[in-house]
């Protein structure tokens, strides 16, 4: 834990953000990774039936009626490290215009056998190359610590995410994600997830400028395809009113 804390501190110093209006991935990380030597394909999709009708920056994508997604290619390197590539990252606007809007590299470090522990943890690093319609900054990154507890059939997971646009430590954007889940059985689960964006660390946005969304989520974890689906409701004026998400995952070997 001390080594990871030192590594995180160093990376924070070098990868200092701007809140992005769009996202390809609506997910709380639970420290699970592909087994060593296994490739995994995860397909992320989200659609906004009712959202903001103006972009957050000039030339940006309008969230309302936009469909965003990405295919995530992951490989289990060890029992504590998973490498990932997000490509292609795409967005389809309300007019049906398809844009390929970037790519990302990912490095995920977790405590071994996280899925069988009552307390588990990890940290994920993502490095993004963005189109100018996806983000105001061409290069951004994400630091996502993972902290979780299991109490019988219940999980509580917290991802205190810091988004980065290389503008300095105080401009790191605090956008945490939280999940409380109940496992009905070994395959099915239900969860509440909240995704927030408080703004830069040096000064959080005012309450009506912050983004807060609450998702109702259902999970199915079994072969051949694991499924996570949810519906999200905006809790502030700066949030999209209604967002749908669908995540499909399958081990390729």
pLDDT for 196-205, tens place per residue? Answer: 999 999 999 9
Q: Could you tell me whether strands 154-159 and 139-151 are parallel, antiparallel, or unpaired per DSSP bridges?
A: antiparallel
Q: Could you tell me whether strands 67-76 and 39-50 are parallel, antiparallel, or unpaired per DSSP bridges?
A: antiparallel
> Is residue 35 a contact partner of residue 75, using CB atoms and an 8 Å limit?
no
CA 72 – CA 248 distance, rounded (Å) = 10
Predicted local distance difference test score (pLDDT) of residue 21: 55
pLDDT in tens, 60-94: 999 999 999 999 999 999 999 999 999 999 999 99
- In this structure, what are the phi and psi dihedrals at residue 18, rounded to the nearest 5 degrees? -145, 130
Per-residue pLDDT of the chain (253 residues; tens, 9 = 90+): 455 444 444 433 333 333 445 799 999 999 999 999 999 999 999 999 999 999 989 999 999 999 999 999 999 999 999 999 999 999 999 989 999 999 999 999 999 999 999 999 999 999 999 999 999 999 999 999 999 999 999 999 999 999 999 999 999 999 999 999 999 999 999 999 999 999 999 999 999 999 999 999 999 999 899 999 999 999 999 999 999 999 999 999 8
243 Cα distance to chain centroid: 14
| Residue with tokens 């988004």, as numbered in its chain | 163
**Could you tell me the pTM of the whole model?**
0.89
- In this structure, what are the phi and psi dihedrals at residue 197, rounded to the nearest 5 degrees? -140, 105
CA 121 – CA 123 distance, rounded (Å) = 7
Ordered domains of the chain (ranges, CATH): 2-15+26-251 (2.40.160.40)
């Amino acid at each position: 834990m001390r080594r990871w804390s030192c590594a995180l501190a160093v990376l924070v110093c070098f990868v200092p953000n701007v809140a992005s209006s769009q996202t390809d991935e609506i997910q709380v990380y639970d420290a699970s990774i592909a087994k060593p030597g296994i490739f995994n394909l995860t397909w992320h999709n989200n659609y906004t039936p009712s959202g903001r009708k103006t972009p957050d920056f000039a030339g940006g994508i309008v969230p309302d009626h936009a469909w965003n997604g990405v295919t995530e290619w992951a490989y289990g390197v060890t029992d504590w490290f998973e490498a990932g590539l997000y490509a292609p990252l795409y967005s389809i606007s309300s007019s049906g215009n398809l844009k390929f809007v970037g790519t990302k590299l990912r490095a995920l470090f977790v405590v071994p056998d996280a899925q069988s522990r009552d307390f588990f943890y990890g940290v994920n690093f993502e490095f993004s190359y963005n189109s100018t319609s996806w983000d105001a900054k061409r290069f951004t990154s994400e630091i996502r610590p993972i902290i979780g507890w299991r109490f019988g059939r219940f999980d509580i997971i917290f991802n205190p995410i810091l988004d980065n646009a290389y503008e300095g430590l105080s401009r790191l954007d605090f956008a945490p994600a939280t999940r409380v889940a109940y496992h009905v059985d070994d395959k099915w689960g239900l969860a509440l997830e909240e995704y927030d964006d408080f703004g830069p660390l040096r000064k959080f946005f005012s309450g009506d400028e912050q983004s807060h969304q609450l998702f109702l989520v259902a999970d199915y974890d079994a072969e051949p395809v694991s499924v996570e689906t949810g519906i999200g409701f905006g809790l502030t004026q700066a949030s999209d009113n209604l967002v749908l998400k669908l995540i499909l995952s399958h081990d390729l070997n």
